[in-house]
Amino acid sequence: MIQDKTLSSRIMDVVVLFFMVLATLLCFLPLWYTLCLSLSEKSAATAGLVSLWPVGFNFTSYKTIMGDTKFLNSFWISIQRVVLGSALNFVVIVLTAYPLSKSAKDFGPRNILMWILVFTMLFNGGLIPWYQTVRSLGLINNIWALVLGNSVPVFSVILVINFFRNLPKELEEAALVDGAGPWYLLMKIYIPLSVPVLATVTLFSIVYHWNEFFNGLVLMSKSDRYPLQTYIQQMVVNLNMGLMTEDQYKKMNVLSNQTLNAAKIFIAMIPVLLVYPFLQRYFITGITLGSVKE
């Protein structure tokens, strides 16, 4: 591109850079502040002295959490949920997407099945009938309620269908001539060629199962069955919220253990921060490739 060196163009560069730095800080500083708060002394945090650097640097909050069996228990439930949920999602997404990526000519009921799938994405029975269904299956307080609760991730299935449909047909035709069956085609041709989109939907599954708190709240009646996000919702966020008057609110602000709460919040962020580099590498390709139609 031809470089524009006029004065107005340089002013524009500066203005743009200013807003970019602002946007970056706006997203970074809240997370940084939480980390600083968690590493500060309790009294300093309560007095509102912490800004962008820890005051009275210490690890007390993190040590306390390491001895908090309820927190660790919830953390473990979340790990189990993520592993089971993501594995199940992967298998079901691939198995559902492959037949539906065929044309109606090759697979007769394809269109009607596709419409059923999309319909369930657009319309739902709402909270109460869904809750009653899960309840009547006897899944209350069962980890499988968390794994299965939100049904098939239809959006991910559609992404994978679109990706499969864009793969070159010649590969499949060549394998068909060699006598390959549908399972062989799926395992040896489609899955190895679809790593970007499969990585994307798997990362979506991981993040979804880690972040989801509501199913944990309504489907687990005992607090020792809560996944981590539900635990934090109940122990940290909700305690601040169920207050009626301004006085109560002020008192709560002073009494609550801010440093400990900040540490809990920060630990709950760590798994997302760990998968984030991979997530970022894939999600743009996944989204753009998956949404391109022939």
Partner 1 sequence: MPAKSRRLPIDHFKEGSVKNRSFSKHYLLMLLPGYLWLAIFSIVPMFGLVMAFQDYNPGQGVFHSDWVGFDNFKYLLSLSDAKSIFYNTVFISVMKILGNLLVPLVFALMLNEVRSRATKKVVQTVVYLPHFLSWVILAGILLDIFAYRGPFNHLMAFFHQKPILFFARADIFPGLVIGSDVWKEFGFNAVIYLAALTGINPSLYEAASIDGAGRFQQLRHVTLPGISTTIILLTVLSLGNVLNAGFDQIFNMYNPVVYSTGDIIDTWVYRSGLLNLQFSLATTAGMFKSIIGFGMITLSYYLADRFANYKIF
**Ranges within 270-289 binding partner 1 (CB under 8 A):** 272-273, 276, 279-280, 283-284, 287-288
CB of residue 54 vs partner 1: minimum separation in angstroms? Answer: 14
Q: Does 138 participate in binding partner 1 (rule CB under 8 A)?
A: no
Q: Are 71 and 263 in contact (CB under 8 A)?
A: no
* Residues 153 to 192 in contact with partner 1, rule: CB under 8 A: 157-158, 161-162, 181-183, 186
Q: Which amino acid is at 235?
A: M
By CB under 8 A, tell whether 134 contacts partner 1: yes
Report which residue type is found at 21: V
Q: Which of 83, 125, 141, 188 touches partner 1 by CB under 8 A?
A: 125
Instruction: Give every CB contact of residue 204 below 8 A, 6+ residues apart in sequence.
Output: 153, 156, 283
Cβ nearer to partner 1, comparing 76 with 155: 155
Residue of 281, 85, 286 lying closest to 198 (CA atoms): 286
Count residues near partner 1 (CB under 8 A): 113
Q: Give, to the nearest 10 degrees, the angle between helix 154-166 and helix 69-100.
A: 40
Among 99, 143, 144, 191, binds partner 1 (CB under 8 A): 99
**Closest to partner 1 by CB, 29 or 66:** 29
Interactions with partner 1, residue window 2-21 (CB under 8 A): 2, 4, 6, 8-9, 12-13, 16-17, 19-20
The pair phi, psi for residue 89, each rounded to 5°, is -55, -45
**Nearest CB to partner 1, comparing residues 122 and 192:** 122
Going from the C-alpha of 50 to that of each of 60, 121, 290, the distances in angstroms are 16, 45, 45
